[in-house]
């Protein structure tokens, strides 16, 4: 494991320390968990956006009528 230095807002650091204490974990564990969750989410988001853009480029999009009909099944007016 490598060491890095970051600047953290004082309020966030207080919250971080409080959470670490409540979890009976060191500050570094909480930080690593937060970073891991953030990276996983952002990687997923980028993959999904790229996949969606590929679908658009391939013409795989719903028409206005298809969207209205799909929402209409739940009683939602999507006009």
Q: What is the pLDDT of residues 28-63, one digit of tens each?
A: 999 999 999 999 999 999 999 999 999 999 999 999
Mean pLDDT of 2-13: 96
- Beta-carbon count within 10 A of 51 CB: 10
The position carrying tokens 């971080």 is 16
Residue 78 has pLDDT above 90, yes or no: no
Look up the pTM and report it: 0.74
pLDDT given at position 76: 87
Question: How far is Cα 2 from Cα 20, in angstroms, rounded to an integer?
Answer: 20
| Residue 22 predicted with pLDDT over 80 | yes
């Amino acid at each position: 494991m490598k060491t890095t230095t970051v600047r953290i807002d004082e309020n966030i650091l207080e919250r971080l320390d409080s959470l670490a204490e409540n979890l009976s974990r060191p500050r570094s564990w909480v930080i690593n968990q937060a970073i891991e969750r953030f990276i996983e989410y952002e990687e997923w988001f980028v993959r999904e956006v790229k996949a969606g853009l590929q679908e658009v480029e391939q013409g795989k999009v719903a028409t206005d009528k298809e969207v209205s009909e799909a929402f209409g099944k739940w009683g939602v007016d999507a006009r």
